[in-house]
A and B are shown apart, each in its own frame.
Chain A
């Protein structure tokens, strides 16, 4: 590698590192996470092995025989050599230990009380009840609600219970007891089978179609009308329509809440005409859609306005003057001179906004939050809410990642399409110093 290569790479390095960390890695990891069942319940690092009452319930549903279930769920005490050694180490008198060995060795007790009673009957038992209770713990063989950090620990605890499981049952038991996340393709099956997925798809289609139509149509209207105004008036209207784009989204949506909520402007205004107040943002699905499309449309129209305005300004003045001399009215001027010049900017805006509308959900999250019901729950918001923002409490990262993965793939394909749309070759002019 030449020295100039290293210099160039050095300049490129910060951008490369950040891009790899926050674009490449997330794209890959979205794919990886989508094949796991990660959620708040499983945690994102490894898990442990735990038999809880819930585990017992699902084992019963799977048809485990009563005997194994009994041993798993009850606290059992087995008097064996290992327990006796532990008692010796814990400092109980040799006479007590010898007595246990001679009278109880090999016995199994289900339940602490039975075992305590048996120990109380011994003549060399410790005087304090507390010591006696402690002694019972040394013989405890229960696995219920005990966390095992490794699979080996878990298996050895199981084997001391003598469950007599078939290999398939043993595997199932281990899987059910594991609390961490596992690899699975169930997320995609679930997405295909749930009706709410289709609902979200339909909602996204409605959202993109109507907002896009509004953005392009209204952007055209703004660009053409301000073009015909004196520059002072034009600047005034452009400012009004540009502000929604740079105002913070939370604040912009707050203005809409004030306009549409039942304590807000429109309801108060209409109440003078006898209309009962409604929260127009969430009253019915239609109301919600109109508000959502307008909220996004008022922001989106400014992009069209700016792009189309500069395209109109680049039309040679002589063409417009000539048409006026020929007696064209304003509509003909727009139809036959201005619109044909805007073909490319319109195509660009449409292509660009289709993708960004498909994946954006910020304004919907802030305004209707997908409601009423799930009437305005678009795909991107659906994925976001499942993985990061649901009030049910269990955030399903894996399932959310699978839903987001669909958008990531669409994003990559669409971006590659733009690569062709822009004339890529023309950009790669070689550096002229150091050939």
Chain B
């Protein structure tokens, strides 16, 4: 091997809000670093070539495939897994809806499903069921038949839109009251 190329890489990353320093084999997948080196086994490994979506996690607020990303590529990045997202409570409504709608059976695909769904329910407005299916098309589920997953995501998208609407209506009422008080 020549001088410029390394077989082990020193990395600094933020994982679930915690600063982490580690040295990894250069060819090690992000998903294996998370699961085997850091014990974060919530994210799952399925096909290991980017097709099934079980290893979908968040890097710098975007979904990525943990099996199609080398940890070496992520110097300075911020990574969130199902463990961190659960602890932070940012997808508690999605998780509750998945349970209530029976949107999981064996649960193998669920951490990836939730990571993918998070981006969709955070977008503005309520997506159509077709849009939900299109967005979730990169995540395989072999148990549910998807209908319940679409139900759960649609439910949360509606709830969040209603809350945003209620907040902005409340904001308008306050603004009107203030405007009225001034006039």
The answer to whether A and B come from one shared complex is no
- Chain B residues proximal to chain A, CB less than 8 Å: none
- Chain A residues proximal to chain B, CB less than 8 Å: none
